[in-house]
Amino acid sequence: MVSLSRPRIARHIPTYNGYHDTPDTLEAAFVDVVESFENDTFEVAFVYYPRVDNMGHKFGPDAPETFDEVKTIDGVIKFFLDELDNHDLASSTNLVVVSDHGMSSNKDKV
Ligand SMILES: [Zn+2]
């Protein structure tokens, strides 16, 4: 007979959650994240940056404004990776970059 049991609940992991709508505040958030990883305040960080999505909705996925935001976030991610490296945390940190959806330049309504 198969015994069904509830999954074990993982222990609570201290987390950082942040919403940042400018590159400056996003970089500052990453500085805080690196510091908190270094002193074990947080083990997981969720950082949200909406401007690539915002520009894509406003101007389209292929617009220069959207491309500029992609370049901006690329630079901020490089800043974060350098911060991790400078604090000897690069090899012990996983970075996952996700999007809430894709985008197409299709002009037809779906
Ligand atoms: Zn969107």
CA 100 to centroid of ligand 1, rounded, Å: 7
HEC per residue, the chain: CCCCCCCCCCCCCCEEEEECCCHHHHHHHHHHHHHHHHCCCCCEEEEECCHHHHHHHHHCCCCHHHHHHHHHHHHHHHHHHHHHHHCCCHHHCCCCCCCCCCCCCCCCCC
Residuewise pLDDT in 10s, the chain (110 residues): 666 666 555 556 667 777 778 888 889 989 999 999 999 888 888 888 889 999 999 999 999 999 999 999 999 999 999 999 999 999 999 999 998 898 888 777 66
CA 99 to centroid of ligand 1, rounded, Å: 9
The domain locations on the chain are 23-40+48-92
Percent of the chain with pLDDT over 70: 85
pTM: 0.78
